[in-house]
């Protein structure tokens, strides 16, 4: 029975290799070196008891292992842990790739390992031009990145020692699984997929004619781990080396055309007999443009690989195993589809005007505009996260959503409680759209509020500070995803300066002003902030004021349609024509607009019982409203 000690077991290659090892009938135990910060990843794999986590770190002497960490010698030490990142700083590359390898070699010798399997890289070939056999190593090549240089230095350490027998495996650039497309990060050709996806806007039949883009070399992860699992158990001499790569490499043109066929972009129809010169450094302006497009400048220098890797000895060793490298064109589609679903940095913007699949938070969702908005968003395929104080009312709305075939979650919360909002943010998780709808309205004249400062404090607490806390809490997640929409339900009253609503309008005005400024800041981050200026809507909030019963009011369903416009990307403001007309009048004839509103204020009744006053004749009100300003103007 065989025992294994694997570094990098929680990495992309390591996970696949451990799966292959424990599937072997002669596997007794796999000891996986796991850094403390990666222990959660190890536990999430759900591996059987034959896979044992060994806390440690390759950058520490003795791998950071305490005495008795292993029950005895191991048959195979598999060294996978390394920095596989062209953009990583030199210090990180050296610590993991060189110091780490030296520590693994010392560990393997001290534990009398039967065989060390060192997973290197074709990067050791550096800038060597021409053929590079499995038996080749130092041909005088130069290395133009810390990654390439440290992979060469690490392999040299392995080759120059004779304390433990070893084998070397040099994978090409590893991409996703050839069947499922699964990949753990954006790397190599993945950096260029966003540009390809945008080229798909051009006619597919448009023929591209480009200079010779050179050659690359990519292999799918399942080929690499299958080959490793087979090759490491063969009877071979110490120092045997295998190239897990495409024989000679792949023309960049072929790789591009295979990916273009999947996304529907124009194909390269012809190549000019001109090869682009090698790129050793990228000017800062160009690097800034590339970074904005998601392409690290360090990658450009290594797009064209001048080396043609021989794989003849490797193919002989794999003969009869069933492990074969498929042509790139055969697995390009799974790679692209997985990238589209999981790795595309702008995947949230695909069908950006659709709510299907979005996670939408609606505050004040227990009734009125919030309830109608939740039902409408769920009907369009969103998962609605219902927020309000009353849990039983939210349960009723959720039942209505689910009865219509939608999905909803209930999150009771008092938005005026800072601690409760902080807990709510953690509960909600990833959110696409936030609708700040919960609000409080108070209708009372300013002169009747001189001893009621708490009216202003209450409206600010719920109408401004509540949504502000929630927005600030969810904003980091939106920015990290490069997509988010914040919808603030305000009021048409901000366009007319409606009398008796000073407390309410001040709070909604603060929210709208915050949204305008924040929206300017967050534009390039992919986060928009939209205000929905509601007209009078017939909801429970206006029920306490009998005066409103005689006025025309919109239905919650029509109000919800305005909110949905904002959720789909409604710009800065979603408003009604009559609101815009009032705003225009306020600008064009400010004095007339101000006097008209004062007249309306004086003719309409107070709503507070304690404010009942002697009724004035409408004629007296009209006369005083018109004549007093004129009379005073004559002074």
Contacts 24+ apart (CB under 8 A), 35-44: 38/10, 41/10, 42/9, 42/10
Residues listed for the chain? 635
* pLDDT of 590: 83
Residue 266 lies in a domain: no
Number of structural domains the chain divides into: 3
**Are 401 and 369 in a shared domain?**
yes
**Are 228 and 102 in a shared domain?**
yes
3-state helix/strand/coil string of 109-176:
HHCCCCEEEEECCHHHHCCCCEEECCCCCCCCCCCCCHHHHHHHHHHHHHHHCCCCCEEEEEECEEEC
The tens digit of pLDDT for each residue in 508-564 reads 999 999 999 999 999 889 999 999 998 988 776 655 555 555 566 788 999 999 999
**What residues does 242 pair with on adjacent strands?**
169
Which tokens is 59 given? 């950058």
**Are 544 and 629 in a shared domain?**
no
Q: Is 504 a catalytic residue?
A: yes
**Are 563 and 602 in a shared domain?**
no
* pLDDT of 295: 79
When mean pLDDT is compared across 49-58, 284-293, 307-316, the lowest value belongs to 284-293
**Are 23 and 135 in a shared domain?**
yes
Closest CA to 529 of 540, 538, 518: 518
**Are 567 and 626 in a shared domain?**
no
| Mean of per-residue pLDDT scores for the chain | 89
Which tokens is 429 given? 């998780």
b/e sequence 194-222, b meaning 16+ C-beta within 10 Å: bebbebeeeeeeeebeeeebbbbbbbbbb
Residue 339 lies in a domain: no
Instruction: Decide if pLDDT at 609 tops 90.
Output: no
**Ordered DSSP codes for 348-402:** GGTTTT--TT-EEEEESTTSHHHHHHHHHHHHTTPEEEEEES-HHHHHHHHHHHH
Residue 56 lies in a domain: yes
> What is the C-alpha R_g of the chain?
34
Instruction: Decide if pLDDT at 64 tops 80.
Output: yes
* Strand, helix or coil for residue 498: coil
**Are 578 and 602 in a shared domain?**
no
* pLDDT of 277: 76
Residue 390 lies in a domain: yes
Cβ atoms 242, 233 nearer than 8 A: no
The backbone torsions φ and ψ at residue 278, rounded to the nearest 5 degrees and listed phi first, read -60, 140
Residue 285 lies in a domain: no
**Are 148 and 163 in a shared domain?**
yes
**Whole-number Cα distances in Å, 39 to 10, 21, 103:** 9, 20, 21
Closest CA to 396 of 419, 374, 424: 374
Residue 574 lies in a domain: yes
The tens digit of pLDDT for each residue in 246-257 reads 999 999 999 999
The backbone torsions φ and ψ at residue 382, rounded to the nearest 5 degrees and listed phi first, read -80, 155
Residue 316 lies in a domain: yes
**Are 405 and 550 in a shared domain?**
yes
| Largest distance between two CA atoms of the chain | 111
The tens digit of pLDDT for each residue in 371-399 reads 999 999 999 999 999 999 999 999 999 99
**Are 524 and 543 in a shared domain?**
yes
**What residues does 243 pair with on adjacent strands?**
170
Which tokens is 355 given? 């709510």
- Selected catalytic residue, list 169, 242, 504, 601: 504
CATH value at residue 555: 3.40.50.720
**Are 462 and 601 in a shared domain?**
no
The tens digit of pLDDT for each residue in 70-79 reads 877 899 999 9
Cβ atoms 82, 9 nearer than 8 A: no
Residue 624 lies in a domain: yes
Mean pLDDT of 181-189: 89
Angle (CA) 362 543 448, round 5°: 105
Q: Which domain holds residue 595?
A: 589-607+614-633
The tens digit of pLDDT for each residue in 405-459 reads 999 999 999 999 999 999 999 999 999 999 999 988 888 888 787 889 888 889 9
Contacts 24+ apart (CB under 8 A), 538-545: 539/367, 539/368, 539/369, 540/367, 540/368, 541/368, 541/439, 541/440, 541/441, 542/441, 544/607, 545/443, 545/607
**Are 577 and 599 in a shared domain?**
no
The tens digit of pLDDT for each residue in 118-131 reads 999 999 999 999 99
Reported pTM: 0.78
């Amino acid at each position: 029975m065989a025992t294994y000690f694997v570094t990098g077991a929680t990495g992309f290659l390591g996970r696949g290799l451990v799966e292959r090892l424990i599937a072997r009938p002669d596997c007794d135990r796999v000891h996986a070196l796991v850094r403390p910060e990666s222990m959660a990843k190890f536990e999430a794999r759900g591996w059987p008891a034959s896979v044992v986590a060994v806390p440690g770190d390759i950058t520490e002497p003795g791998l950071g292992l305490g005495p008795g960490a292993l029950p005895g010698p191991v048959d195979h030490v598999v060294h996978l842990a390394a920095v596989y990142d062209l953009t990583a700083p030199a210090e990180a590359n050296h610590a993991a790739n060189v110091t780490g390898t030296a520590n693994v070699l010392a560990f393997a010798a001290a534990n009398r390992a039967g065989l060390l399997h060192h997973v290197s890289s074709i990067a050791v070939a550096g800038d060597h031009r021409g053929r590079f056999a499995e038996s080749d190593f130092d041909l005088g090549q130069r290395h133009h990145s810390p990654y390439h240089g440290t992979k060469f230095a690490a392999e040299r350490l392995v080759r120059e020692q004779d304390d433990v027998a070893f084998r070397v495996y040099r994978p090409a650039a590893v991409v996703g699984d050839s069947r499922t497309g699964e990949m753990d990060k954006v790397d190599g050709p993945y950096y260029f997929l966003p540009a390809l996806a945008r080229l798909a806007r051009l006619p597919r039949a448009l023929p591209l004619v480009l200079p010779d883009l050179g050659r690359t070399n990519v292999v799918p992860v399942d080929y690499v781990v299958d080959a490793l699992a087979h090759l490491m158990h063969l009877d071979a001499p110490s120092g045997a080396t295998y190239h897990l790569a495409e024989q000679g490499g792949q023309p960049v043109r072929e790789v591009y055309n295979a990916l273009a066929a999947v996304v529907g972009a124009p194909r390269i129809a012809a190549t000019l007999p001109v090869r682009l010169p090698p790129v050793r450094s990228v000017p800062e302006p160009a690097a800034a443009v590339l970074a904005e497009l998601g392409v690290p400048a360090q990658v450009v220098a290594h797009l064209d690989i001048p080396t043609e890797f021989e794989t003849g000895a490797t193919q002989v060793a794999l003969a009869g195993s069933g492990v074969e490298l498929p042509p790139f064109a055969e697995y390009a589609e799974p790679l692209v589809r997985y990238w589209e679903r999981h790795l595309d940095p702008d995947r949230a913007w695909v069908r950006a005007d659709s709510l299907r699949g979005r996670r939408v938070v609606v505050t004040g969702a227990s009734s009125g505009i919030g309830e109608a908005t939740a039902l409408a968003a769920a009907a369009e395929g969103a998962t609605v996260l219902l927020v309000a104080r009353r849990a039983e009312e939210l349960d009723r709305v959720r039942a209505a959503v689910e009865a219509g075939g939608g999905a909803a979650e209930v999150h009771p919360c008092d938005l005026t409680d800072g601690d409760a909002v902080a807990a709510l943010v953690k509960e909600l998780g990833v959110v696409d759209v936030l609708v700040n709808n919960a609000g409080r309205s108070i209708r009372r004249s300013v002169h009747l509020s001189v001893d009621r400062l708490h009216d202003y404090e209450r409206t600010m607490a719920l109408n401004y500070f509540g949504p502000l806390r929630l927005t600030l809490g969810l904003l980091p997640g939106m920015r990290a995803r490069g997509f988010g929409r914040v919808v603030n339900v305000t009021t048409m009253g901000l366009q007319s300066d409606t009398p008796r609503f000073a407390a309410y309008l001040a709070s909604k005005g603060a929210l709208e002003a915050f949204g305008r400024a924040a929206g300017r800041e967050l534009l390039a981050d992919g986060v928009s902030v939209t205000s929905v200026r509601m007209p009078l809507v017939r909801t429970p909030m206006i029920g306490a004021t009998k005066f409103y019963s005689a006025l025309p009011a919109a239905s919650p369903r029509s109000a919800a349609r305005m909110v949905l416009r904002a959720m789909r990307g409604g710009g800065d403001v979603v408003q009604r024509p009559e609101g815009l007309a009032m705003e225009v009048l306020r600008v064009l004839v400010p004095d007339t607009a101000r006097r008209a509103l004062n007249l309306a204020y004086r003719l309409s009744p107070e709503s507070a019982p304690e404010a009942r006053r002697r009724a004035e004749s409408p004629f007296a009100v009209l006369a005083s409203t018109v004549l007093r300003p004129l009379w005073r103007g004559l002074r």
